[in-house]
Amino acid sequence: MMENDMESGTLGLGAYQDKPRVFPNMRTKPYTPLIFRILLSINVRVLFVILLLGLGAIFYVGASTSPIIVFVISVCILSFLVAIYLTKWVLAKDEGPPEMVQIADAIRDGAEGFFKTQYGSISKMAMLLAVVILCIYLFRSTTPQQESSGLGRSTSAYITVAAFLLGALCSGIAGYVGMWVSVRANVRVSSAARRSAREALQVATRAGGLSAIIVVGMAVIGIAVLYATFYVWLGVDTPGSMKVTDLPLLLVGYGFGASFVALFAQLGGGIYTKAADVGADLVGKVEQGIPEDDPRNPAVIADLVGDNVGDCAARGADLFESIAAEIISAMILGGSMAQRCKIADPSGFILFPLVVHSFDLVVSSVGIFSIRGTRETGVMAPMEDPMTILQKGYSYTIVLAVLAFGLSTRWLLYTDQAPSAWFNFALCGLIGIITAYIFVWIAKYYTDYKHEPVRILALSSSTGHGTNIIAGVSLGLESTALPVLVISVSIISAFWLGRTSGLVDESGTPTGGLFGTAVATMGMLSTAAYILTMDMFGPIADNAGGIVEMSQQPESVREITDVLDAVGNTTKATTKGFAIGSAALASFLLFSAYMDEVSAFAHEPFKQVDIAIPEVFVGGLLGSMLIFVFSAWACSAVGRTAQEVVNEVRRQFIERPGIMDYKEKPDYGRCVAIVASASLREMIKPGALAIISPIVVGFVFRILGYYTGQPLLGAKVVAALLMFATVSGILMALFLNTAGGAWDNAKKYIETGALGGKGSEAHKAAVTGDTVGDPFKDTAGPSIHVLIKMLATITLVMAPIFL
């Protein structure tokens, strides 16, 4: 349907030479998801009453569970009000002249059309997987805890499926919010750039901020409401019912649903955005010698659409999944530790992650509002470094996060059994916050053209395309060292701080080690909303630059958006590094939860995995292989789709020679349709590989173990697969993200006038490097860190079939 819309005859606007700054109107019918269409069709007063009743029900359920839940829900609702204020503030900004609005409309229509088609496909796959999960849970064995609480197979099955579908739905909404914001903010940033750089920066930051607040708030309130609902419905902690320490295990399906949608959103969006980008650059910049985002390039609209569906929608779903996975794994470990230590009121340890992220919404909002406009107007006003301004806001956020984290640990993690334990855990959180800051700094060092690595990479472009590629690959490989050292120190430090907290089980064995690591993960993600703000800033600024170039605004305006775009490339790279670090810690926690789950089902201890056993070692090899094959398929998908775009753009330049002289109009819609259909087709194979591989490996080795007298062989092999895939995936994602970001900013550095500037031989070589790096940093790299978390959640959900 979307192809027909894009290729329909709605592109006629009269002779192109008569209207050189008017562009095809590709809009057909604005897309709004069904749930929003239903809400908009309801009378305002009726909707207000329903909203009040819904909030009343939520607060009643929360109050019946714990005052902590009431606090979390209250903070989330207040943060949504802040997001509404930011929405009104951003939308109140003007959209600029008509030519800007027409281009923005075309981008919006392409993004919404692709979102509708992509998420329609994802929802069908999610429903199919939900049926599979239901069948597995209906025929699986039960744990002793479930038997003692009277939680039967059917109840457990329906709870898991409901949680899975809710997680998938919320992840999809998070993606839609990211895309909705970006396609409306881009043109307003372009318009603001005509007045001042600081105003453009403020609009882009606040637009990214409102999206970030909604994504983080939804993740927190979704888990809080689900937890409270299960608590009340199942009568938790009443005689003969489930213990509150076992309740977090029922939330695993929510994390799996979020991971499932995030993986396919990242794959589909990443293939779309980079295939369009590669196709536009190879023919436009290299072959035709026209600037980036030039209106004569037939693939330029597809490229700008890709920024929204790949970087905004996909990253919104990605961070939603990251927070959900981290919260659930930390709740599971907190409950498990509280149970072993016989803590009288374990609710503080279980709900601690929700409180941390509630404070995240508060401190990140302060950081977002700290970035203000100035009284200086006009494009000739002195321009501050946007990265310095964003870093200052991040510094404010971190200081407040440290204070909030210390307050949270004293409030919720104080126990008479170990009066000083809360201080140890506060130090674990501090380690996580410091780790996040260092990760951001490392990524900035390797990808910002103000620093030596990118300048050396740019210099290598002056001797040809080959030396540029060699330098970029070596930079990416080297960039894995510091993050690995930092994450290693963080895991060990947090583990030992937790272990020495004074919390012990009945036998006197220290039990706080893993929870200390979980608290460090929470510390790392305690500024997640501001991190996502910086991430969303990048594609919004990129789109704004494209609109300015296509609408042929003055060069001074383009200079402002170029600077914002270059900073956006750095912020995207830094947030990807941050996401990889948090993914490593979250996967470690989920792996520990998986081992506890296997132990519960097998009715025997499962504390370690011996890789000296041949079958287990093979499982590890398969896990590493999975990462490499997945990366290869993701990159090749971009390559194949880009080839289609290149052929189409070449065809248009040959068949319509007047395009170069503004005498004929490019067919933008054709390129949009090609990229959309190809990316949806190409995302299936790598996504299916990620889902099917651990299930098949675990089941095959379970059968082998049955015939060789090794009852836990399937679970052990899957554990090895998960461990090796996590380690390989972290290194691969670091390499891909950093190399791609460095190549991109080396090109930006040359475009500032260095080494001959635009159109020079060095610039052409840098464009080649950037083209190679595109699928690295925006398709394979981001998809891998989603993959390793999804592997952890799918093994946790599917654990019974490995036994």
Here the tokens at position 332 are 């599971």
Here the tokens at position 492 are 């060990």
The distance in angstroms from the start CA to the end CA of the chain is 45
Coil, helix or strand at residue 297: coil
Give how far Cα 312 sits from Cα of 201, 230, 693, Å.
17, 32, 28
Highest mean pLDDT among 11-25, 428-442, 581-595: 428-442
Model confidence pLDDT, tens digit, residues 573-610: 777 777 777 777 778 777 877 887 788 777 777 878 88
Give how far Cα 78 sits from Cα of 226, 290, 377, Å.
19, 48, 33
Backbone angles phi, psi at 504, to 5 degrees: -135, 160
Q: Are 423 and 409 in contact (CB under 8 A)?
A: yes
Identify the H or E element spanning 749: helix 713-751
- The per-residue pLDDT for 23 is 46
- The per-residue pLDDT for 404 is 93
Q: Are 262 and 170 in contact (CB under 8 A)?
A: no
Which of 744, 392, 433, 750 lies closest to 572, judged by CA? 744
- The per-residue pLDDT for 24 is 47
Q: Are 72 and 61 in contact (CB under 8 A)?
A: no
| Mean pLDDT, residues 326-338 taken together | 86
Residue 74 corresponds to which amino acid? S
Here the tokens at position 399 are 């200081």
- The per-residue pLDDT for 754 is 85
User: Percentage of the chain with pLDDT > 70?
Assistant: 91
Sign of CA dihedral 774, 364, 217, 220: positive
Residues present in the chain in total = 803
- The per-residue pLDDT for 236 is 79
Q: Are 221 and 83 in contact (CB under 8 A)?
A: no
Q: Are 227 and 747 in contact (CB under 8 A)?
A: no
Here the tokens at position 291 are 């600037």
Segment among 243-257, 283-297, 331-345 with least mean pLDDT: 283-297
Model confidence pLDDT, tens digit, residues 259-307: 888 888 888 888 888 888 888 878 887 777 787 777 888 888 888 888 7
Here the tokens at position 232 are 């009340």
Place of tokens 């691969």: 732
Backbone angles phi, psi at 726, to 5 degrees: -65, -50
Q: Are 686 and 630 in contact (CB under 8 A)?
A: yes
- Where does the pLDDT of residue 531 fall: very low under 50, low under 70, confident under 90, or very high at 90 and above? confident
Q: Are 147 and 43 in contact (CB under 8 A)?
A: no
Mean pLDDT of the chain: 83
- Please, what is the angle between helix 668-682 and helix 684-708, to 10°? 0
Coil, helix or strand at residue 94: coil
- The per-residue pLDDT for 150 is 60
- The per-residue pLDDT for 358 is 93
d(CA 267, CA 363): 31
Coil, helix or strand at residue 71: helix
d(CA 594, CA 716): 11
Q: How many other C-beta atoms are found inside a 10 Å radius of the C-beta of residue 460?
A: 24
d(CA 2, CA 114): 7
- Where does the pLDDT of residue 18 fall: very low under 50, low under 70, confident under 90, or very high at 90 and above? very low
- Return the HEC string of 189-250: HHHHHCCCHHHHHHHHHHHHHHHHHHHHHHHHHHHHHHHHHHHHHCCCCCCCCCCHHHHHHH
Which of 502, 338, 346, 335 lies closest to 420, judged by CA? 502
d(CA 538, CA 535): 6
Q: What are 76-83's contacts with CB under 8 Å, separation 24+?
A: 76/217, 76/220, 76/221, 76/224, 76/358, 76/361, 77/221, 79/213, 79/216, 79/217, 79/361, 79/362, 79/365, 80/213, 80/214, 80/217, 82/213, 82/365, 83/210, 83/213, 83/214, 83/217
Give how far Cα 56 sits from Cα of 61, 70, 148, 233, Å.
9, 11, 33, 17
d(CA 138, CA 157): 6
Model confidence pLDDT, tens digit, residues 128-176: 989 988 888 887 666 666 665 566 778 888 888 999 999 998 888 888 8
Model confidence pLDDT, tens digit, residues 618-670: 999 999 999 999 999 998 998 888 888 889 888 888 888 888 887 888 888 88
| pTM greater than 0.95 | no
Sign of CA dihedral 219, 349, 59, 248: positive
Q: Is 106 exposed, middle or buried (0-12, 13-18, 19+ CB in 10 A)?
A: buried
- The per-residue pLDDT for 381 is 47
- The per-residue pLDDT for 250 is 84
Place of tokens 């196709």: 279
- Where does the pLDDT of residue 552 fall: very low under 50, low under 70, confident under 90, or very high at 90 and above? confident
Q: Are 368 and 393 in contact (CB under 8 A)?
A: yes
Residue 47 corresponds to which amino acid? L
Q: Are 531 and 435 in contact (CB under 8 A)?
A: no
| Mean pLDDT, residues 513-525 taken together | 88
| Mean pLDDT, residues 17-44 taken together | 54
Q: Is 654 exposed, middle or buried (0-12, 13-18, 19+ CB in 10 A)?
A: exposed
Rg of the Cα atoms in the chain: 26
Model confidence pLDDT, tens digit, residues 107-128: 888 888 888 888 888 888 889 9
The DSSP 8-state label assigned to residue 283 in this structure reads I
